[in-house]
Structure 1
Amino acid sequence: MRIFHLNINAPNRTAFVNEGKHNQSDISRQQFDLIRQDLEASRKRTHPKHIDPYDIFCAMLYVLKNGCTWRDLPADYPKWSTIYYYWMSWSKVPTPDKPALLTQVFKKIVADRRLRQGRSARTSFVILDAQSIKNTATAENKGYDGGKKISGIKRHLAVDITDRDGAIALVTLNLEQFKLVRTMMVDSGYTGQNFANEISSLTSAKVIVVKRNELHQFSVIPQRWLIERSFSWLENYHRLWRNCERELNTSLMMVSLAFIRLLLKRY
C-alpha cells in the first residue's frame, strides 16, 4: 500500500512513500537496489529530488505493463509529469558515443547475470531475428513488411543470440557490442552469401542459417528457441503490443525497460 506524508526536509512538499508492493508490475525494493546507484547518479541533473527513484521506476513499469499513457498513471504514484521528466532523462541518448542511462543499466545487469553463471561478461555467439510490429496513429516512423503485409516497424533482437538490411544496420550501429562475436545464428530469412560476407567484414563472425523442417510445422529448434521466447516475453507488456511511440529511440528504451524488469525479477 502506498501512502503520502509531509516531508519535514522540504516544507510544503509531499513525499512519496511505498510500503510493500502495490501493483503487479512493481519489482521489490531489494531488486531495485541492484540498479538504484546507477539511476541515482543522474539525480544531480533531475528534479525534484525528494521523490524516491524506486517509485519513479515502478511507475514506468506500470506504463509499460499496462499500456496506459503517462497521464493515466494511478494517483498512488508520483505526479505523471514528474515520472515523464525522469523517463526523458533516463532514456535520452546524451551523445552519439554514450548510450542512454537505461541502456547502461541493462548492459550492466546482463554482464552481472553472465558472470554469476560463470560465463564471460561479453558474448561470442548471438542469435539474430526480427519481429514486425504494427503502428498506432501516434507513431511517426514506419515501414512495410512485404512478407507479412504489415505496416509499422521491425524490432531486431540479437540474443546470446525477412530483413537483411535491418540486421546489417543493427550490427553497424552496435559494432562495439558485436566486437567479440564469432558466430551469428539466423533463420532462413537471412539466407544469402552477400549477407554472410557483410557480417563477416563488420564483425569477423560466421553466419549459420537454421531452417525449419520441410513440412513448415512448428517445432522447437535448439538454440533458435532462445530468440523466439525473447519475443514472446515482450508480448507480456501491453505497451509493446503495437508501436505507439513517436520516436524510435523511445520504442527501443521501452524494450530495454522490459528486459531490465525481466532480469531483475530473476534475482
Structure 2
Amino acid sequence: MAKHGLRVIAIAYLFFLLVLPVGLIVWRTFGDGLGPFVEALTSASAVHAFQVTLTVALWAVAANTVFGIGTAILLVRHNFPGKRLLNALIDLPMAVSPVVVGLALILVYGKFAPVGGLLESWGVQVIFSTPGMVLATVFVALPLVVRAVVPVLEELGDEQEQAAHTLGASRLQTFLRITLPGIRWALAYGVVLCLARSLGEYGAVAVVSGRLVDQTQTLTLFVEERFQNFDQPAAFAAATALALIAVITLLLTKFLRPKG
C-alpha cells in the first residue's frame, strides 16, 4: 500500500511540476495550427538566435571536450599535489549560480577591467559579444564531460596502456588506439549532456551578452524577450523548440549512458 502511495505522489509531483507546464506550452504553440509555429521560427530574429545559440554551444562543447578528456586522464592516471583541490574545483559550477558566474566574468573581462581593457586595446571584445557568451557557457557546463569519463577510466585501469608503452607505442598512439576507444561511449554521453546544457543556458549568458536583439541573443533570451514584448506565438514556438531539443537529448543520454 505504501509503495502505491509513493508511486502516486511521484507521478503527481512530476505531472504538476513538469508534464503539465510543458504540455500547456506545446498546446499553446500549436493551438492555431502548424503555420504560426513555422512562421515564428523562420523569422529573421529567430533564425539569428538559433545561429548564435549553435555557435556558442559548439565552441563550449569543443572546449569542454578537450578539457574534460585531459582532466579526466590527469585525475585518474596521475598523482600530484593539489589533486583533491582540482577535483573539487571541477564541481564548482554546479554550486555557483550562473548569474554570479556572469558577473564574475564582467569583473575580469569587462571593458574597464584590467584584463578586459587589455584585450579591448588589442581589438578583442569579450563581454557583450560571442567570446564572453562562450566563456560563460563553458563554465556552467565544465564538469559534465569530466564526470562522465572519470568512472570509465577508473574501471578500465591502465594495464593495456602500460603494455602499449612497453611495446614502444607513443602516448598519442596509446591514447588513440586504447584509451579513446575504451571511453568513447562515456565521452559521447558527456558531450551530449554538455551540448544540452550549453543550448539551454540562460543565467550566465543573460548577464554577459547584454541581450542585444539580433546581435547577442540566444534562443533562451529570445523566448524571454518575445514574451515580455507580448509576442506569445514566437515565445511559445521557441520554447517548444527548446523542449524538443531537451527530449531528443534525453533519448540520446539514455542510449549513450555507460552500462553498469
TM-score of the pair, normalised by structure 1: 0.23
Q: Greater CA radius of gyration, 1 or 2?
A: 2
**Structure 1 or 2: larger strand share?**
1
**Structure 1 or 2: larger helix share?**
2
